[in-house]
A and B are shown apart, each in its own frame.
Chain A
Amino acid sequence: MPGFTTEIPATLVTVDQGLAREFETRLAESSRLAFRVAYGVLRQREDAEDVAQEAFTKAYRSFAQLRDRDRFRAWLVRMTWRLAINRQRSNRRRMSREEGPTAPSPEPTAADTLVARERARQLWSAIDALPEKLRVVIVLAGIEGHDVREVATLLKLPEGTVKSRLFFGRQRLKESLRWMNGRPTK
C-alpha cells in the first residue's frame, strides 16, 4: 500500500511471529476437536472439514483476543458448532429442493456390518431429534472422553447445568432407541 510500505518495526515482526507460532500450536492440538464437533452435526467428512477450516480461519482473524488455550478451545467449539448447524440447515434445504429428505449415511468403518450401520443410523437420528441444548452436550461428552467439567468449560456453562442436560439427553436417546427397536417405554 503506497505510503505504508516503509520498514515494519522489529517489535511488530516479533509479535506477529509469536502469534503465528502460538496459533500453529493451537491448530495442531485442536484440529481433531473442531473436526469432530462439525462431524457430530454433519456426519460428512468433507463438509466437516470445510466447516472446521472455516472456524480456524475465523479464529486466526481474532487470535489476538484468543491466545488463552481454554478460551481458544471454547470459542472454537462454539464457532464450529454454529457453522456446522448453519451448514446442516442449508444442506437440508438443498436436499429437500433437489431430491427430497434422505438420511445421511454414516461413514463405513472396518467393522462395518449391516447391523452396525443400522444401529449407527438409529443413534444419529436419535441425536438429531434432540433439542440443540441437549445435543451439543451429548456430542461434546462423546468426543475425546470429555468429562462434565471439560464440557462445562467449553460451553461456558455451570457444571450442574451440563450434568442435568447430559442426564436428560441420555434419557431421551434411550427412549428413542428403544422405540426404534420396537420396545417402547412403559
Chain B
Amino acid sequence: MDERQTDEMTDAMLDQEIERALAVDPSPEFLARVRVHIATQPARVEWWSWPMVVAGAAVAVAAVVTVLVWRPGASQSDVPRAASPSIAAMPLEMPLISAPPDVAGLRREQSTQASTIARGAVIAAAPAPADRSTPHEPEVLIAADEAAALRRLMRATWTNSAAPAALVAAGTELAALEPFEDLELAPIREIAPIRIEPLQLAAREEGVRQ
C-alpha cells in the first residue's frame, strides 16, 4: 500500500516537475520578430506560378518527344517517313542486272518487271551511286556467288537459252540437290508487260507508325 502510494505520488510529482520545467515563456519580442520575419518573406502569388507550370510541362513534353525520336539505336523505320520521298513517286533508276547487249529490246519490254526485282534485292556486289542517294531503302546483302548465279539465270531467261546444264556448270550447290537434266523449259514467246502504276496515296497516310 505504501509502495503504491509512493508510486502514485511519484507520478504526480513527476508530472508537476515536467510541467514546471516546461513552463518557460518566449521573450516578449518573440511574436513581433515572427511577424517581421513573415512580412519579409516573398509574397505568394498563386496565379503567378501557372505560367511557370505550363512552361515546365512544355519543356518536359519536348524533352520526351526528343528522346523518343532521337533515341540511340532507333531503326530507320522509326524515322518519320515524311522526310523521305514517297516510294510511289521515286524514279525507277535502280540499276538493272547487267544484261547482254543483244537483248536490249527484251530488256525494254521487261524493264518494269526487272526493276521490281532489283528494288527488292539490291545486289551488294555491284552497288551503284543511285543506291547511296536512297538511303531509306532496305539494303539486302547476298553472297557474290549467288549474285553471279542470279545474273546467269536472268541472262539465260532473256536469251531463251536457259540451259540447265550451263547452270550446273556454274558450280552451284543447288544443282547438286536438284538435277536439271530432265527439265524441259519451253521458250518464252511473249510476256505481257506488267504495268505498275504509282499508288495514289494521300500524303498523311504515309509515315504512320504501326
Interface size, chain B (Cβ < 8 Å): 26
Min C-beta distance of B15 to chain A, whole Å: 7
Residues of B within 8 A of A57 (CB): 34, 37-38, 41
Min C-beta distance of A158 to chain B, whole Å: 21
Interface size, chain A (Cβ < 8 Å): 37
Distance, CA A108 to CA B14, complexed state (A): 20
Among B19-27, B65-73, B101-109, B156-164, the one that faces the other chain is B19-27
Chain A interface, DSSP helix/strand/loop, else mixed: helix
Residues of B within 8 A of A142 (CB): 15, 18-19, 21-22
In the complex, A152 has a CB within 8 A of chain B: no
Given A49-B27, A173-B14: A31 touches B34 (CB 8 Å cut-off): yes
Contact with A along B1-40 (1 / 0, CB 8 A): 0000001001100110111011011110011011101100
Min C-beta distance of A61 to chain B, whole Å: 7
Given A1-B48, A142-B18, A142-B19: A56 touches B38 (CB 8 Å cut-off): yes
In the complex, B44 has a CB within 8 A of chain A: yes
Distance, CA A177 to CA B24, complexed state (A): 22
Distance, CA A123 to CA B18, complexed state (A): 8
Min C-beta distance of A163 to chain B, whole Å: 13
Residues of A within 8 A of B19 (CB): 142-143, 145
Closest B residue by C-beta to A1: B48
Contact A61 B21 (CB under 8 A): no
In the complex, A154 has a CB within 8 A of chain B: no
Contact A174 B38 (CB under 8 A): no
Contact B30 A52 (CB under 8 A): yes
CB < 8 Å neighbour of B22 from A1, A36, A56: A36
Contact B18 A32 (CB under 8 A): no
CB < 8 Å neighbour of B26 from A28, A40, A49: A49
CB < 8 Å neighbour of B48 from A4, A28, A31: A4
Distance, CA A176 to CA B186, complexed state (A): 113
Contact A36 B18 (CB under 8 A): no
Residues of B within 8 A of A36 (CB): 22, 24
Min C-beta distance of A78 to chain B, whole Å: 17
Contact A32 B25 (CB under 8 A): yes
Given A36-B24, A45-B27, A49-B26: A138 touches B18 (CB 8 Å cut-off): yes
In the complex, A48 has a CB within 8 A of chain B: yes
Residues of A within 8 A of B7 (CB): 174
Contact A139 B26 (CB under 8 A): no
Contact A31 B38 (CB under 8 A): no
Distance, CA A12 to CA B38, complexed state (A): 19
Min C-beta distance of B196 to chain A, whole Å: 60
Distance, CA A174 to CA B199, complexed state (A): 94
Distance, CA A174 to CA B45, complexed state (A): 52
Contact A49 B33 (CB under 8 A): yes
In the complex, A53 has a CB within 8 A of chain B: yes
Q: Can you offer 22 A-B residue contacts whose CB atoms are under 8 A? A: A12-B47, A27-B35, A32-B26, A35-B24, A35-B30, A39-B22, A39-B24, A45-B26, A49-B27, A49-B33, A52-B26, A52-B30, A53-B37, A57-B34, A60-B41, A61-B44, A107-B24, A119-B17, A120-B21, A123-B18, A142-B21, A143-B19
**New contact pairs (8) apart from A57-B38, A57-B41, A142-B18, CB-CB < 8 Å:** A1-B48, A31-B30, A35-B25, A39-B24, A49-B26, A53-B30, A57-B34, A138-B18
